[in-house]
Amino acid sequence: MKMKKYTASSMPAAMKKVQADLGDDAIITSSKVVYSKGFLGMFKKKSFEVIAGIERADIKEPAFSSKTVQQSAMFESQVSEDSSKVIKQELADLKKLMKSMQSQSASIQYPDELSTVIKQLEHQEINPQLITQISDELFTIVKNSKANLTPQEVQALAQKQLAHLLEGLPFGGISYEKKYINVLGPTGVGKTTTIAKMAAHAVLKKKKKIGFITTDTYRIAAIEQLKTYANLLQAPVEIVYDKEDYERALLKFERLDLIFIDTAGRNYKEIKYIKDLQQLIDVENNVENYLVLSMTAKERDMATIIEQFLAFSVEKLIFTKVDETNTIGSMINLMVKYKKGLAYYTDGQEVPEDIEEASMKNVIELLFQGDNK
């Protein structure tokens, strides 16, 4: 990565220098306030120092002149690649075998009438314990039924049992009862685009006067993206670097109906970033907190993120990139495990179209649509 230091009289001015020099893909690695020496130790001048960098894709490894070394490296690389392929194939075969054994064991426990529904739940990667819970209830119903149930009737019963598991969890988008909409989430989940979709609905359907606050000062591209959406919605946007900036932005937007807060996308598996966020913004007073997760992520990683944000009063989750996967069981698993509701799920990049306000009904239907969704 190419690194460079920039100094300016203000942080926004420093950010402009970074953008002009390195472009929108620049990444801020550190920033601090510095003071220059004044006359007789007095009249010190305050300035801002930023270190930024950009990945250099055009850097190539140096070529060696020795033919022997080149041949040796090629041979070692080929051996390494071949070994890696063998290991990956063995792991894939093992996973298939385990899934097959799990499916067979579930099918053995229950009558044939339930096999289609059970396989559908397994295919969607619903937690095995939840599958057993649903299947036990279905078995009791089928056993006590005087008539043979059709596959459609069995699926309807399975949907009803799934609804029981989700009962009591909150569904639906912004309540419009609180002024600040705080959107949290790790990097790469499509958080800024999701905020734009939510904001567009607030403006176009609810006729609300809105504003944006972003704390994502680490990525130039993220700031420019939010500014673009703000211009389209004719909404003001404030970039905040510290607690004082945040307080000033709140005062500036005092007369607006709704304020969307785009927090920095960071690796929130590290508790340090959670604490930094807690110190920067108010997540309790007159705030609705939403946690954004990507359906393309591993369920275990999403669970880790949720656990890191348990200190925040997050009632509802938002899942993005539903269109990029054929299985959404992890969505159900996490909601049930952590007792979190669902506000929205997104299924594309178009703003504001590709977002759905969640309800229990449409989530269950989405699950049973499977590959046809």
What's the CATH code of the domain at 342? 3.40.50.300
Q: What is the pLDDT along the chain (373 residues), one digit of tens a residue?
A: 678 888 888 777 888 888 888 887 778 777 777 777 655 555 567 787 888 888 765 444 444 455 555 555 565 556 566 667 767 776 766 665 555 555 444 444 677 888 889 999 999 999 999 999 999 888 888 888 777 888 898 899 999 999 999 999 999 999 999 999 999 988 888 899 999 999 999 999 999 999 999 988 777 787 888 999 999 999 999 999 888 999 999 999 999 999 999 987 666 666 767 777 777 877 678 999 999 999 999 999 999 999 988 878 899 999 999 999 989 999 999 999 999 999 999 988 888 788 999 999 999 999 988 555 5
In a domain, 75, yes or no: no
pLDDT of residue 95: 61
186: tokens are 């790790």
pLDDT of residue 211: 96
State which of 138, 167, 196 marks the end of a domain. Answer: 167
Strand 2-8 to 45-54 pairing: antiparallel
Ramachandran area for residue 64 (φ above 0: left; ψ -120 to 50: alpha; else beta) = beta
pLDDT of residue 64: 46
| The length of the chain, given as a count of residues | 373
Clarify whether residues 324 and 349 are in a common domain: yes
Clarify whether residues 36 and 135 are in a common domain: no
Clarify whether residues 42 and 110 are in a common domain: no
Q: Could you check whether the bond before residue 352 is cis, i.e. omega within 30 degrees of 0?
A: yes
The residues near 257 (Cβ < 8 Å, ≥ 6 apart) are 179, 208, 209, 210
In terms of Cβ atoms closer than 10 Å to its own Cβ (0-12, 13-18, 19+), residue 209 is: middle
Tell me how far apart the alpha carbons of residues 190 and 54 are, in angstroms, rounded to a whole number: 21
In a domain, 72, yes or no: no
- Rg, C-alpha atoms of the chain: 26
Clarify whether residues 23 and 115 are in a common domain: no
In a domain, 62, yes or no: no
State which of 143, 167, 191 marks the end of a domain. Answer: 167
Cβ count within 10 A of residue 133: 17
In a domain, 174, yes or no: no
pLDDT of residue 60: 45
Contact between 346 and 296 (Cβ < 8 Å): no
Tell me how far apart the alpha carbons of residues 278 and 310 are, in angstroms, rounded to a whole number: 12
pLDDT of residue 14: 81
Clarify whether residues 193 and 257 are in a common domain: yes
Tell me how far apart the alpha carbons of residues 293 and 301 are, in angstroms, rounded to a whole number: 10
pLDDT of residue 180: 94
pLDDT of residue 188: 84
Clarify whether residues 135 and 196 are in a common domain: no
Tell me how far apart the alpha carbons of residues 26 and 53 are, in angstroms, rounded to a whole number: 6
Clarify whether residues 208 and 263 are in a common domain: yes
Residue type for position 229: Y
- Does the pTM surpass 0.75? The reply is no
Edge-to-edge order in the sheet of strand 314-320: 237-239, 210-214, 258-262, 180-184, 287-294, 314-320, 341-346, 355-357
Clarify whether residues 116 and 163 are in a common domain: yes
pLDDT of residue 93: 65
Tell me how far apart the alpha carbons of residues 41 and 144 are, in angstroms, rounded to a whole number: 90
In a domain, 96, yes or no: no
Tell me how far apart the alpha carbons of residues 225 and 262 are, in angstroms, rounded to a whole number: 11
Clarify whether residues 115 and 194 are in a common domain: no
Clarify whether residues 320 and 355 are in a common domain: yes
Clarify whether residues 265 and 328 are in a common domain: yes
In a domain, 199, yes or no: yes
218: tokens are 């680490």
In a domain, 68, yes or no: no
Q: What's the total number of domains in the chain?
A: 3
State which of 167, 199, 218 marks the end of a domain. Answer: 167
In a domain, 353, yes or no: yes
Clarify whether residues 350 and 237 are in a common domain: yes
The residues near 166 (Cβ < 8 Å, ≥ 6 apart) are 332, 335, 336, 360, 363, 364
Domain of residue 130, residue span: 103-167
pLDDT of residue 15: 81
**Three-state helix/strand/coil letters over 138-170:** HHHHHHHCCCCCCHHHHHHHHHHHHHHHHCCCC
